[in-house]
Structure 1
Amino acid sequence: MLFKIAFEEAFALPTSLAENTPIGFTRADASPEEDLHNNLLDIHGHRLRQMDENDVEMMILSLNAAGCQGIEDPAKAEALASAANDYIEAQVAKNSTRFAAFVALSMHDPAQAAAELKRCMTLKSGFVGVLLNDFQSSGSDGNTMLFYDDARYDLFWEAATRLQTPLYIHPRTPTALIDAEMWRARPWLNLSVLGFASRVSMHLLAIITAGVLDRFPALKLVVGHMGEHIPFEMYRIDHKLDRDRFPTMGVRRDKLIRDYFGDQVFLTTSGHFSTPVLHCSIAEVGAQSVLFSMDYPFESIPNACMWFDSLQMNQHDVVAMGRNNALALFPRLTQPPHNLEVKSAWECGVGGLRDGSATYGLYNANFNKRTATR
């Protein structure tokens, strides 16, 4: 598919890479172009060449995890957010037809977060939304976890709604205490295998069940990795959220969690390139809830794009997920300096018989002999 848009794509600040160690690792035999640190620091070189080679028109950049959420000192977290936002604004300005950015925020103080969000969305250029790396670390030992379903964050949610700023909730590492209790004896299950999804899905469901989306009906939230397991648990989640059993739960009594998807909650394909899983997600929450993403540089751009471009499903859903849903969710992409436009399936090269040749059933060029590669 031509003209794809991708959302969960990370960068690192050159001056703070050592202080803000990225999640992930680099193989010992990795080439320079495969090196995680190199790719986090690079924006206009290898990253852009791979976008060109794989028909990705726009990439929305975000500060690598754990970012500001991993810093327990409020002043240091706020300083990192400001520096990251100033830096990425300048980078996007160099090529705003190919790049946009998510605002980075410290979430220690909801009022300060709202003020930084307003600064970026009204006084700066190139920002289309916010990305938060799950909970905010706090406390003298970093083990205090601040979650945004707390009522004191309504001040922030009100600002995000007023500024028409969708918010992406991205995974991060656990606190030292949680790591010691749950993951240290089994580190292979932490991070991308299980830990990320477990923590982010809890946080998203906490926000929804606290009634945040009901109090702010124009607020939009996004999670990656095909919904952080939520679509596959949807029946059981809605079945077990008994309103009589949990009378203090803040979510509306007449709505299921499923009802919020496609209107206020969206998911991306980042790092989860499975067609059966995609079909399951579409069956549970609809193609209007799904957006293409890659998770670069933690995932391969060619791998993500080869998978998505090979999907065998109706062309309108493919183009909606690959591009047009994004433009509806992030309207600033359609405005200066980005000026992206909704495109048809035909314009995106999806569907049709492009070479005009006769076929013997779309998959093979010979009636009697198999010629297609496995």
Structure 2
Amino acid sequence: MLGKIALEEAWAIPENFQVYDVSSLAPKGVIGGDLTANLLDVHGTRLQQMDENGVEMMVLSLSSPGPQGATDPVKAEALASLANKRLEAEVMAHSNPGRFAALASLSMHDPVQAGGELRRCINERKGFVGAIINDFQSAGDDKNTMLFLDRPECDAFWSVAEELDVPVYIHPREATPLVFEQMWKDRPWLAFSALGYAHRVGMHVLGIVTAGVLDRFPGLRIVMGHMGEHIPYDLYRIDHKLNRARFPDMPMAKDKLVRDYFGTQLFITTSGHFSTPALLCAMQELGAKSIMFSIDYPFESIPNGCVWFDEHVPIASRDLVDIGRNNALRVFTRLRGSPHGEVEYGLYNKDWSKRLERR
């Protein structure tokens, strides 16, 4: 499929490695050769592989944990501001701005300040279409305090996201030192993308939903990656066990189930989870309108993700195009306007006048 839009695609600045050294995730050569170099690159190998695999646009965001890993509010805010300034320059540097867009990085120590930074990115900078928050915000001298987005003071931030009509992407990050020590130290291979990421983000997103955030802000849209961080597979049990007779004080709307928010306020992407059975499960539980294509580059392979989606997903053409492109344009409404909007000639051939050969 031509014209694919990929939404969870990482990029970095050297200053971000001072918060978290991504090279510690695996020896060099294990994740795409040179992971650090691939994170820093936008217009070289990344763009070449996009062209070769029918990816029309990548929405870029600062690699995790970003500002969420900085316990000092001043440093977290400074990192977010610097990253947003440089990401704007990268997005607008290409001769065709339609190839890249940006998610704003935010410090969540102060939700009011976060809302102000998001407003600046959307209203004053170019290329931004939403925000990304890497799970909880670290705080405290020992880095063990976790500030979650379902705390009441975060309503000041959610109201800005709703007002600006931009989605917020909840992305994983590493555990705190204390949680790692208690849960993952003896099984570190499970602490990250194999299991820990999904456990932590799934809990966080469900915490936001059951706290009534989506009810208080009905225009708010939240996105999570990796085929929904296990939630689609567990959705029956989640809804079944959130029995209002057992939890009468749960703030979520009493006439709703968690599944009722999908497709209107909750969405997932395929980032880093190229499994056809998992996609079919998500489609049956959530509906195709709730799902958007993503790759998770450079932590995952662009060709691998695109070959899977283009050649190994046996679903109706309408659903394929919705998941591959149209849902992103519906959820991330700013992708449809300047500087991103463009004329679309067709899904099979990109040029109006001549047949283009796929490499």
What TM-score comes out, normalization by structure 1 length?
A: 0.90
2:16, 2:265 → 1: CA distance? Answer: 34
Larger mean CA deviation between 325-334 and 19-28 belongs to 19-28
Of the three residues 334, 340, 359, the one matched with 1:338 is 340
Query: Within 1, Cα distance between the matches of 2:327 and 2:193?
Result: 26
- Structure 2 counterparts to residues 70-219 of structure 1, below 5 A: 70-95=69-94, 96-219=97-220
DSSP 3-state at the match of 1:332 = helix
Code of the aligned partner of 1:13: I
Which runs of 5 or more structure 1 residues have no equivalent in the other structure?
351-374
Question: Secondary structure of the equivalent of 2:25?
Answer: coil
Conserved 8 A contact 1:333-1:340 = no
- In 2, Cα distance between the equivalents of 1:338 and 1:62? 16
CA-CA distance at 1:14 after TM superposition: 2.9
* Contact 1:334–1:341 (8 Å) recurs in 2: no
**CA positional deviation for 1:29:** 4.6
Aligned counterparts of 2:314 and 2:149: Cα–Cα separation in 1: 39
1:274-319 Cα offsets, whole Å, 9 max, x none, are 0011000000000000000000000000000000001221101000
Give distance in 2, aligned partners of 1:15 and 1:241: 42
Given candidates 319, 322, 325, the residue that maps to 1:323 is 325
- Per the TM alignment, residue 23 of structure 1 is displaced from its structure 2 partner at its CA by 7.2
Deviations 1:249-289 (A, max 9, x none): 11011001000000100000000000011000000000000
Superposed displacement of residue 246, structure 1 = 1.0
Q: CA deviation at 1:20?
A: 3.4
Q: Secondary structure at the match of 1:17?
A: helix
Write the distance in 2 (CA, Å) between the matches of 1:206 and 1:101. Answer: 26
**2:132 and 2:60 mapped to 1: Cα distance?**
9
State percent identity of aligned pairs.
56
Indicate conservation of the 8 Å contact 2:19/2:69, yes or no: no
Using the TM superposition, give the Cα deviation of residue 97 of structure 1 relative to its aligned residue in structure 2, in angstroms.
Answer: 1.5
Tell me the secondary structure at the aligned position of residue 159 of structure 1: helix
1:60 equivalent to 2:59? Answer: yes
Tell me the distance in 2 between the aligned counterparts of 1:332 and 1:326.
10
Question: Measured at CA, do residues 22 and 327 of structure 1 come closer, stay the same or move farther in structure 2, by a change above 3 Å?
Answer: same
Runs of 4+ in 1 over 3 A off after TM superposition: 23-31, 340-343
Once the two structures are superposed, what CA deviation does each residue of 1:32-73 show, in whole Å capped at 9, x if it has no partner? x72100100001100000000101000000000011001111
User: What residue is the counterpart of 1:14 in the other structure?
Assistant: 14
- Taking a change above 3 Å as real, the CA distance of residues 213 and 23 of structure 1, as seen in their structure-2 partners, is farther
The amino acid across from 2:111 in the alignment is: P
SS at match of 2:86: helix
Matched residue of 2:14: which SS?
A: coil
Residues 189 and 26 (structure 1), Cα distance of their counterparts in 2 relative to 1, 3 Å cut: closer
Q: Of Structure 1 and Structure 2, which has the larger fraction of its residues in helix?
A: 2
Structure 1 counterpart SS, 2:330: helix
Distance 1:340 1:24, change over 3 A: farther
Contact between 2:269 and 2:293, CA under 8 Å: does it hold in 1?
Answer: yes
User: What's the secondary structure of 1:60's corresponding residue?
Assistant: strand
Q: For structure 2, which runs of at least 5 residues remain unmatched after alignment?
A: 350-359
> Matched residue of 2:74: which SS?
helix
Separation in 1 of the partners of 2:314 and 2:49? 24
Measure the CA separation in 1 of the matches of 2:316 and 2:24. 35
**Contact 2:166–2:333 under 8 Å retained in 1:** no
- Give, in whole Å, the separation in 2 of the partners of 1:149 and 1:117: 18
For residues 51 and 24 of structure 1, what CA distance do their matches in structure 2 show? Answer: 27
> Whole-Å Cα distance in 1 between the matches of residues 284 and 30 of structure 2?
38
Cα distance in structure 2, aligned partners of 1:19 and 1:147: 19
Report if aligned partners of 2:19, 2:66 keep a CA contact under 8 Å in 1.
Answer: no
Q: For the Cα contact (< 8 Å) 1:110–1:156, is it kept in 2?
A: yes
- Distance apart, 1:30 and its partner CA: 6.0
C-alpha distance 297-130 of structure 1, shift in aligned 2 (>3 A):
same
Q: Is the 8 A contact 2:150 2:211 kept in 1?
A: yes
The structure with more radius of gyration = 1
Question: 2-side partners of 1:66 and 1:90: how far apart?
Answer: 21
Deviation at 1:17, TM superposition (A): 2.6
In 2, Cα distance between the equivalents of 1:190 and 1:340? 41
The 2-side partners of 1:119 and 1:198 are apart by 32
Whether the aligned pair in 2 keeps the contact of 1:23 and 1:173 (CA below 8 Å) is: no
Give the match's secondary structure for 2:254: coil
CA distance in 1: counterparts of 2:57 and 2:253, whole angstroms: 37
Shift of 1:28: 4.2
1:360 corresponding residue in structure 2: none
The 1-side partners of 2:329 and 2:289 are apart by 12
Q: CA deviation at 1:15?
A: 3.9
Q: How many residues align?
A: 346
* Aligned pairs (5 A) from 1:27-42: 27-29=27-29, 34-42=33-41
CA gap of 1:122–1:226, structure 2 versus 1, over 3 A, is: same
1:25 Cα deviation from its structure 2 partner: 3.4
One-letter amino acid matched to 1:12: A
**RMSD of aligned residue pairs (Cα, Å):** 1.6
CA contact 2:16–2:66 (8 Å) conserved in 1: no
> Partner residue of 2:265?
264
- Structure with the bigger RCO (C-alpha within 8 Å, sep 6+) is 2
SS in 1 for 2:5: strand
Show the counterpart of 2:68: 69
